[in-house]
Each structure stands twice: as structure tokens, then as C-alpha cells.
Amino acid sequence: MAVEFCRVCSRELFQEILLHYSNMPKAAQNFPDAESVHHEEGADLTIRQCSGCGLVQLDGDPVPYYREVIRAAGISDVLRDSKTQQFTDFIDRFSLQGKKIIEIGCGRGEFLSLLEPLKISAHGIEHADDSVAHCRKQGLRVTKNYLDVGLLLPDGPFDAFFLLMFLEHMPDPNGALRALHDNLKPGAVGLIEVPNFDMMLRNRLFSEFIADHLLYFTADSLRTTLHINGFEVLDCGELRDAYVLAAVVRRRERLDISDFRDCQASLENELRRFIAGFGEGRVAIWGAGHQSLAVIALTQVASKIRYVVDAAPFKQWRFTPATHLAIVPPETLRLDPVDAVIVICGSYSDEVAGILRRDFDSRIAVAILRDFGLEPVP
């Protein structure tokens, strides 16, 4: 059944297809034998692009074995040495010695076995029964399962993870990544590798499309996919003659902006001290923009302010929302003078302070609200 919406962002796919291939291999595994080859038929591949996030993808169904990781050729000595160094560098970078790392889709333990000597607690998850049995026979800690929403893995949560050349197979990458997110500790890090569609585009490698790979990630679309599923991308680069995109990620956590409250309390105290130096009703505020309105409301100084000055005619002779101070034109400073003016005008504050010093009584005390507090204007 053709998919009409993006597997990642749910926006519509462009109606115009990118490519259509007829009589393509149905899969990269399970080749026909002498008995079945006469009945074996090819399949059509339709390659389309999301109109929203730009991800290129097949619009058909996944291969029957998409939950299983199959590394047909195993790993060479060169690849083994390269991955061992990569894993060692990753563990050292994030001080993961003694911590728990899980490989998502560990196959027959080809990479998982490289982690065992690296002084970490290595775990894996794999769906294929024979692969799980093979891993366990080697003494590897492997759970038979597949990442679906709501799955809680035994031995979790984990400090780090590897997801290597598997994400591109997943018909529901969001569900898998969110399940992964939910099985990680706060601040957990990970390594994600996918085939590099940027390289395919550069080299026009039309032969890299295959039914097993539903998703074709550029660095940009990979970052988008990871961002919307709860991961910060720390870095993303090309490996193995640019055939592979490798992203190092961290589980996103809720921001801690509790210091905003401290800043608010500090500013309130500073404003009250400033106003107290002149007396209630002897201080005005210049600026009826959103920052000024918020400061007046949040610091609760409205009862001590004479009025609010603003040069915009459409605001004059109205009142500040919530705090109900009169908004008046600048001439009011001459008709109904005050002893001090607090300027809260964002990027226009210096310009307004200059106007006050040039056009109004020089005896008026002027202070600009900066990000660090009140700054007196000489």
C-alpha cells in the first residue's frame, strides 16, 4: 500500500515522484533457490520526498524481516579495528567506563562483542530468534524484542546506545526513537549511523536504492528526525568513504530556567530601591512595549509609578494591560514632571535616553533597564 504522508513529520509527500524503478529485487536477503527462482518476481520501487522535512523515502511496505538486523558478510578485520577505535573514543569522550550501553538491533553480536573488553556493561536488543540464540551462546546480554512505543527494556535505563545502520529500515522511525528515548537515563548519549544520501546525491548512485531501506537520510533530514524525537545532535559527519552518516546525540532534557525567578526577584528589589530614592509617584517609565509591560506586572511596582511614556500615538491615552497605568505622550514630562524616568525600550533604550537628555529637564534622573539591571545615565 502506497504511503502518502512522511514517516517522520507526517506532512504530505510531494505528488511528483522522484524516481520509479520497475522489476527491482524485492529484498536484499532470502535469495531464490533453484526450485523457487522460476516463480520469483521483481518489485516496483517508488522514491518520493516529503514536502515538509524533505526526507526522501520509499512509499511502499517494508520488507517482511525489517525488525531483524542481518549483516550478511559479518565484519572484516579492517572494519573490526575501525569500530573498536570508534567505540573506544566514544566511551572515553563521555566517560562511560562502567556504564550501561545498549546496541539497538545487534544482529549476531558482531559489534556488541567488540564492546565487552571496553570496561562497560554491554547489552543488546535483536528480533531474530537465531541471532539472539547466537549472541547468548557467546555470553552476550541480548533481549529478544523490537523497539516499539511503550517498550521497557530489562536492565534499563541505559547510559548510552548504538543504533547502527538500522534506522533506515524502520517503517515507524518516530515510534522506535521515542521508545529508545524512554529507555535512556537523563543525559544519555548515543551513536546513530545510517547510509549517507548526501553521498548518493553527489555521486548519482542510483543503484543504492533498495526495498530494505525505506528512509534515505541527508545530514539535514537526519538531524530533523532526531530533533523531533527528543535528541540533541552534538555532531554529524561522514565515515567509510562517505557511505555512512554518523551522528553523536544526547537525550534532550527539560530546560532548567529557575534562575529566571531569581533574576525577577533581584530586579524587583532593585526597582523598589531606585523608586524609593525619589518617592512614590515621582518616577515614570518610558516604554509601553511587551518587555516593559511584563516588567511592570511581574515586579509589582505599578502602584509606585506615575505614568508610562510612549511615543507611539496609537498607545497614548490608553492604559497598560493588567496594571492599568496611564500611557502618555513624551510632552507629559513637561506638563506633569517627575524626578526620574526608567527607560525600558529594548534596543531603542539608548536612543530614548539620548532624547531625554537632549530635550527634557537635565535634572531628571534617568536609568536604563539592561540585562544585568538598572544602569544610571549620566
pLDDT for 371 beyond 60: yes
pLDDT for 1 beyond 80: no
The predicted pLDDT at position 74 comes to 63
Using DSSP's 3-state secondary structure scheme, residue 261 falls into: helix
Question: How many separate helices (H) and strands (E) can be counted in the chain?
Answer: 10, 17
- In tens, the pLDDT along 303-336 reads 999 999 999 999 999 999 999 999 999 999 999 9
- In tens, the pLDDT along 69-111 reads 988 656 788 888 999 999 999 999 999 999 999 999 999 999 9
Q: Concatenated DSSP letters for 67-116?
A: TS---TT---HHHHHHHHHHHHHHHHHTT-TT-EEEEES-TTSTTHHHHG
Give the predicted TM-score (pTM) of the model.
0.85
Q: Stretch 340-363: mean pLDDT, rounded? A: 96
- In tens, the pLDDT along 232-260 reads 999 999 998 999 999 999 999 999 999 99
The predicted pLDDT at position 26 comes to 83
Structure-block grid coordinates of residue 172: 515507524
User: How far apart are alpha carbons 156 and 184 in whole angstroms?
Assistant: 7
Which residue, 194, 201, 171, is CA-closest to 19?
Answer: 201
The predicted pLDDT at position 115 comes to 92
b/e burial code for range 71-103 (CB count within 10 A of at least 16 → b): beeebeeeeeeebeebbeebbeebebeebbbbb
Q: Who's near 283: CB < 8 A, 6+ residues apart?
A: 274, 275, 304, 305, 306, 338, 339, 340, 341, 342
- 88 phi and psi angles, rounded to 5 deg: -60, -45
The residue assigned the cell 505622550 is 329
- In tens, the pLDDT along 179-195 reads 999 999 999 999 999 99
For the chain, domains (ranges, CATH) are 77-251 (3.40.50.150), 259-377 (3.40.50.720)
- 212 phi and psi angles, rounded to 5 deg: -65, -30
- In tens, the pLDDT along 117-173 reads 899 999 999 999 999 999 999 999 999 999 999 999 999 999 999 999 999 999 999
Q: Who's near 6: CB < 8 A, 6+ residues apart?
A: 12, 13, 50, 51, 52, 53, 55, 57
